[in-house]
Amino acid sequence: MTTQSTPVDLSGARKVAPFAPDLLQTTEHHLCSGCGHPVAWRLLVEVLDELGLVDRSIGVVGHG
């Protein structure tokens, strides 16, 4: 859906930010409105990708 009164014309436009990095398997989550966790996930995944570390990473997820 859109809140823009006129449709967006993307001809000649260059994408500078995707919705989310490809490595993020989904954009759906149940965290609260305004939560910082998803921002941290995105930054983490972007950096791992940029540094070429994705194939050499172990993720450890804490509780609670």
Q: What does the angle CA 18 – CA 20 – CA 21 come to, to the nearest 5 degrees?
A: 95
Nearer to other proteins, 13 or 49 (CB): 13
Nearer to other proteins, 35 or 47 (CB): 35
Residues in the chain: 64
Contact assessment for residue 29 and residue 38, using Cβ atoms and an 8 Å cutoff: yes
Closest CA to 25 of 42, 43, 47: 42
Least separation in angstroms between residue 55's CB and other proteins is 4
The contact set with other proteins (CB under 8 A) reads 1-4, 8, 10, 12-20, 24-29, 31-39, 42, 55-56, 58-60
Least separation in angstroms between residue 49's CB and other proteins is 13
